Amino acid sequence: MSAGLFSSCVMQSEKFQNTEINYETGMGKIVDILNAYMRAERAAPVPEAPLPLRPITRELLASNESQPTVYRLGHSSILIQLDGEYVLTDPVFSERASPVQWMGPRRFHPVPLSLEELPPLKAVIISHDHYDHLDKASVRILDEKVEHFIVPTGVGRYLRDWGVATDKVNELAWWQSISIGSLQFTATPAQHFSGRGLTDRDKTLWASWVIVGHDARIFFSGDSGYFAGFQKIGERFGPFDLTLIETGAYNDLWSEVHMKPEESVQAHLDLRGRAMIPIHNSTFDLALHDWFEPLERAQVAAEVQGVTLLTPVIGAPVNVRAPVPTQAWWREIIEEGQGELAAGL
């Protein structure tokens, strides 16, 4: 299977590949990562105070129905209101991003609305099969609310195994599109990897997504290292009214598959985006940086590059076509934590 060209199914002996790199995690890299975790000394791996949260009510949703709107639910879960329909990306409502709920990364904040309170969904988009993006418990509860699941090639088998009807599952390879009503969804390249266990590495595809409606054009990055594909996507589908770009869980040891914040801002520029929301941060501790570092570094890089960066409080609505400036809300939490530390000395 050649890089960048994928069949509609994955044979047991085949693996998907990136277009620019061959990302491997051999024993040497695993040892380096384990050593880095053992040596790590962080001032703030998790927030020392509750994160600000805007509960999402039915009244709030109804008040924004006439305009394209997005709501950060946490990590890479985004509720998108477009052309009068609702679309949800990478829904993870579980307490932990883990194969089991008795251990693993625990969320920093509640979800601003429950699965039961979600409105009917025209589509759920999945970027890849990692546990912080594809959550079995969430999918099974969501199923009755969702008309269509749109996933990269190979990921559909998980959904079918979990009870989702085959005719609701749409699997796309890179550059393939599906239209549902006035909305068009296109799977676009990303530089990442896949696998939920020890034996299924890269057996399913990973993707970013282009979401186009009458009212707006939105890009959702999923997980990715920085690569030339962003510019190609921008040339083909841009400009975008809003980009939702992975900004978090990065490290030098795995920089090929997770962008650093400065690269995330550059990806936004490559995509020809008008405004950017950094996602994949502020919900789970998945790397070795402080919890607030992705937002802080993205803010600085955006100011240098002249990028309109939006950092809404979790749950707060963002008008895609006419966003209002947001505040650096994490700085108040940092200052509060530093004040408590000083008081205890």
Q: Is 27 exposed, middle or buried (0-12, 13-18, 19+ CB in 10 A)?
A: exposed
pLDDT at residue 337, rounded to an integer = 62
CB 80 within 8 A of CB 211: yes
HSE, CB side, 13 Å, CA atoms: give it for residue 270. Answer: 16
Which tens digit of pLDDT belongs to each residue from 218-238?
999 999 999 999 999 999 999
- Distances from the Cα of 242 to the Cαs of 81, 221, 255, 320, 335, in angstroms? 13, 11, 24, 6, 30
Q: Is the pLDDT of residue 2 over 50?
A: no
Q: Is the pLDDT of residue 1 over 70?
A: no
- Distances from the Cα of 78 to the Cαs of 56, 81, 165, 295, in angstroms? 12, 10, 23, 17
Asked whether residue 190 is domain-assigned, the answer is yes
Q: Is the pLDDT of residue 185 over 50?
A: yes
Asked whether residue 40 is domain-assigned, the answer is no
Asked whether residue 28 is domain-assigned, the answer is no
The tally of domains found in the chain comes to: 1
Q: Is the pLDDT of residue 3 over 60?
A: no
Which tens digit of pLDDT belongs to each residue from 130-169?
999 999 999 999 999 999 999 999 999 999 999 999 999 9
Domain range for 168 is: 50-344
pLDDT at residue 34, rounded to an integer = 83
- Of 2-6, 17-21, 109-113, which range is least confident? 2-6
pLDDT at residue 25, rounded to an integer = 76
Strand 217-220 with 308-309, pairing:
unpaired
Q: Which of 120, 111, 71 lies closest to 319, judged by CA?
A: 71
pLDDT at residue 340, rounded to an integer = 52
Asked whether residue 22 is domain-assigned, the answer is no
Asked whether residue 296 is domain-assigned, the answer is yes
Asked whether residue 188 is domain-assigned, the answer is yes
pLDDT at residue 32, rounded to an integer = 79
Q: Is the pLDDT of residue 5 over 50?
A: no
Provide the β-strand partners of residue 217. 212
pTM above 0.85, yes or no: yes
Which tens digit of pLDDT belongs to each residue from 289-343?
999 999 999 999 999 999 999 999 999 999 999 999 999 999 999 987 654 534 4
Which tens digit of pLDDT belongs to each residue from 15-38?
999 999 998 876 677 787 888 878
- Distances from the Cα of 126 to the Cαs of 153, 273, 285, in angstroms? 11, 21, 21
Task: In whole angstroms, give the CA distance from residue 225 to residue 193.
Answer: 10
Task: In whole angstroms, give the CA distance from residue 156 to residue 177.
Answer: 16
Q: What's 115's domain CATH number?
A: 3.60.15.10
Which comes out higher in pLDDT, residue 301 or 6?
Answer: 301
pLDDT at residue 4, rounded to an integer = 37
Asked whether residue 250 is domain-assigned, the answer is yes
Rg (CA), the chain: 19
Location of structure tokens 């996933």: 151
Asked whether residue 16 is domain-assigned, the answer is no
Which tens digit of pLDDT belongs to each residue from 252-272?
999 999 999 999 999 999 999
- Token pair belonging to 198: 């020890």
pLDDT at residue 9, rounded to an integer = 36
Which comes out higher in pLDDT, residue 240 or 116?
Answer: 240
Which tens digit of pLDDT belongs to each residue from 64-90?
999 999 999 999 999 999 999 999 999
- Token pair belonging to 21: 């790199």
**3-class SS of residue 345:** coil
What average pLDDT is seen over the chain? 92
Task: In whole angstroms, give the CA distance from residue 273 to residue 327.
Answer: 20
Give the residue-averaged pLDDT of 279-296: 97
